[in-house]
Amino acid sequence: MQSLKNIPDQIMWHDGMLLSPQHFQQAFRRCENIVSYQNFENTVYPFGIKNFKFEETSFLSGILKIEELECTFQDGLEYYYNYQSDSTPLQIDLSSYKETLSKDSLTLTLCVPKNLNKNSILNSNFSRYKSLNNNIYSFDENTGEDEIFIPRIKANVTFLFEHEVTSNYIALPLAKIHYENNFFKLKTFQPPSKKVLKKSHIWNICNSVCMITRYKIQDILEDLNKFNHDTHRAIYNNRLLALKSMKSSLPRFEACLYSEQLHPFHLYLEFYNLYSQIISNDIEEMPPTLIEYNHFNPLACFEKIHENLVEFLEREIPTNYNITKLTKIDKKFQISFNTNIATFENNSFVLLGFKKSYSVTNENFINWIKSAIICDEENHSINLERRSLGLSRSIVEKYDTLIPQRNIFLVYAKLDNNRRENIKLVVSASIDTNSHFLPEEIILYSRKSA
């Protein structure tokens, strides 16, 4: 990063001073670095890759040949390369890494020697700059005449894989490469950058969250009225809170995303705000563990927030499923349904959600589910007498995209082969001593019609 220790003190100019190239070098170094220092002090993560284009055909066979590259290093050094204007090609031969890359992907970095006095000698092994051989002439900007040749220098960049970078270099991660099926390939990776553009992986992740959130808002609006009664009062209130938080936080996030002007860190903050607003409706849960931002691999934190947010939305607002509460009469739960509508996989099983009371331990509740009677109403008395549990059942963590809410255990109950089209399902404790472990409620899940 930029530091005042690398900026030379002011030169004491005076009459009759014998000028040397060093005077101008020191003066320009101070002027340029002061401006860069102020910029770095007042901007978060002001470095990264702005443009990165390479020849795809040669890359497949092992030669990464750069067509255009524009970046800012961590110490403020700006670098630009274009194969049409630069006489020396910027490339790396990957063939010597073939065996290593076939085992695991590696991160390729763009490196430049650090801004140290020992690296100031031109064209040495670790020189920060190299002299250019380009025959570029400059003319008088006022008259357009008097062309002269001005010697120039450029940052001495090189490609190194992450394990090869030494302390003498500053390194910017550029791409993640692996070797598969006789070809070199890029793995999904987002290098550090200063803006999030539409072509980036981060933009696509954020845009998918915008679309999912809009779908969830639509789902809530379509289903809200059917929960507006005493039986589903808790669900109704939760949906109202979710609707309010999503509608208040989504427009700002979309505006920031589509502007294509936000730094990844600022977009990360906006993304986190959207995530926080939505999950804040779960007032009984502690805030989740912080997902830290890493500018050298920003994609990782965006993927994690996306994963957590989508999982929360699917759990709280199932996209493809209707939910119907079973009626509780005394110590029994019951519901009537059509097997052509409320069953899964060719009418072979039903999905039930058992909500656990906070006062009941997981172990006791799981044992209650395993020992409960789940059957058709007409068979309930017989099953009770014979101590039969009725339908076979399994407790599952999720089914397809359906993720149960907190304290709800998802149960897969297999129906009998001689089932009827209409069933009145009953769930009860098999013995009276288990009655104090009763679920607070039981939910029947069914797919929404297309």
- pLDDT tens string 258-305: 999 999 999 999 999 999 999 988 777 788 899 999 999 999 999 999
Cα–Cα distance for residue pair 213/217, rounded to 1 Å: 6
The residues, any chain, with a CB within 8 Å of residue 139's CB and separated by 6 or more, are 145, 146, 147, 148
Tell me, what's the pLDDT at 434?
66
Work out the average pLDDT over 5-24. Answer: 87
- Per-residue pLDDT reduced to its tens digit, 50-82: 999 999 999 999 999 999 999 999 988 999 999
The residues, any chain, with a CB within 8 Å of residue 175's CB and separated by 6 or more, are 52, 107, 108, 186, 189, 191
Give the position of tokens 């059917």: 226
Cα–Cα distance for residue pair 82/65, rounded to 1 Å: 11
CA distances 38 to 31, 32, 41, 155, Å, are 11, 10, 5, 22
- Per-residue pLDDT reduced to its tens digit, 106-164: 999 999 998 877 777 776 778 888 888 766 778 888 887 888 888 888 999 999 999 99
Of 233-237, 311-315, 442-446, least confident by mean pLDDT is: 233-237
Of 62-71, 202-211, 342-351, 406-415, least confident by mean pLDDT is: 342-351
pLDDT confidence band for 192 (50 / 70 / 90)? very high
| Whole-number average pLDDT of the chain | 88
- The sign of the dihedral angle between the CA atoms of 165, 169, 173, 174 is negative
- Per-residue pLDDT reduced to its tens digit, 370-426: 989 999 888 888 888 888 898 999 999 888 888 888 788 999 999 877 667 888 999
pLDDT confidence band for 432 (50 / 70 / 90)? low
Percent of all residues in the chain with a pLDDT value above 70, rounded to a whole number? 96
Structural domains for the chain: 43-187 (2.60.520), 201-316 (no CATH), 321-447 (no CATH)
Helix (H) or strand (E) holding 325: strand 321-325
Is 189 or 385 the better-scoring residue by pLDDT? 189
Quick check: 305 and 291 in contact, CB under 8 A?
yes
Work out the average pLDDT over 444-449. Answer: 83
Work out the average pLDDT over 170-198. Answer: 95
- Residue 206 pLDDT > 60: yes
- The sign of the dihedral angle between the CA atoms of 169, 175, 179, 185 is negative
Tell me, what's the pLDDT at 5?
78
Amino acid at 73: F
Tell me, what's the pLDDT at 340?
82
- Residue 45 pLDDT > 70: yes
Work out the average pLDDT over 216-245. Answer: 78
Cα–Cα distance for residue pair 34/31, rounded to 1 Å: 5
Cα–Cα distance for residue pair 394/326, rounded to 1 Å: 19
CA distances 36 to 75, 127, 263, 346, Å, are 9, 21, 18, 67
